[in-house]
Amino acid sequence: MNQSTVQIPSRSGIYATRKIPGSRARSLKLMDRVRISLVLTGFLLLCFGVFLQQNFDRGVGFINRPISKVRIENQWQYIREEEVSWLLAEFMGAGFFNFDMAGVKQILEQHPWVHHATIKKLWPESISLHITEQVAIAQWGHSQLLSQNGETFKPIGIESLNALPLLNGPKESQLRVMGQYQAISQLLLPSTLRLTGLTLTLRGSWELVLN
């Protein structure tokens, strides 16, 4: 069996020697290596922590970049890009992870011509924008338009759409009037007549304008 020899000082100052079994000597050496490894690991972790602390803001700034670009995914007929830019102005410049997607969607869908808005974030500094416009099928009264879903909306420049049929009726009667208009229009298809106006009166009767 391998053995190691160590010197042990006595009270008289004379050193004595004692032999240590080889397996125990190897264990002591292993423990020394473990201690050194732990100290070295702790030192490296400390250095890494200091590095992270000093560079945290820089790293966050690199990842969470300000949104500065808008990618438009489709074409619009009635909505102008200048209007959209104006609506988005208060949101631009926010960080990628802080960008208010819900707020952007809400303010865009308040635009009279916007039926639905879809917004996606594109790292590092962009958003994509897809807007579905309202489809006007008729005038409602003389100041609003009626969409294919039976919703009324009031955009600017409605005068340019006065070629649309003119529908009218009591409050909350849009769907009923629209359905009746479509039914009568189908009946008139074989003829040369066209239904250009339809009104539901307060008495419940119908007034037609044919062309």
Q: Which CATH number does 69-133 carry?
A: 3.10.20.310
The predicted pLDDT at position 41 comes to 82
> Which residue ranges make up each domain of the chain?
20-63, 69-133, 136-210
Query: One fold for both 69-133 and 136-210?
Result: no
Q: Does the pLDDT of residue 100 top 90, yes or no? A: yes
Using only C-alpha atoms, the chain has a radius of gyration, in whole angstroms, of 40
pLDDT digits (tens, 9 = 90+) for 81-94: 999 999 999 999 99
Whose CA is closest to 141, among 152, 130, 126?
Answer: 152
CA distances from 158 to 62, 141, 192, 197 (A): 47, 11, 28, 17
pLDDT digits (tens, 9 = 90+) for 185-194: 999 999 999 9
What topology is assigned to 136-210 in CATH?
Answer: Rossmann fold (3.40.50)
Cβ(102)–Cβ(94) under 8 Å?
no
pLDDT digits (tens, 9 = 90+) for 8-47: 555 555 555 555 555 666 666 777 777 777 877 877 777 6
The predicted pLDDT at position 20 comes to 52
Q: How confident is the model at residue 147 (pLDDT cuts 50, 70, 90)?
A: very high
d(CA 159, CA 153): 14
Measured from the Cβ of residue 96, the count of other Cβ atoms closer than 10 Å reads: 17
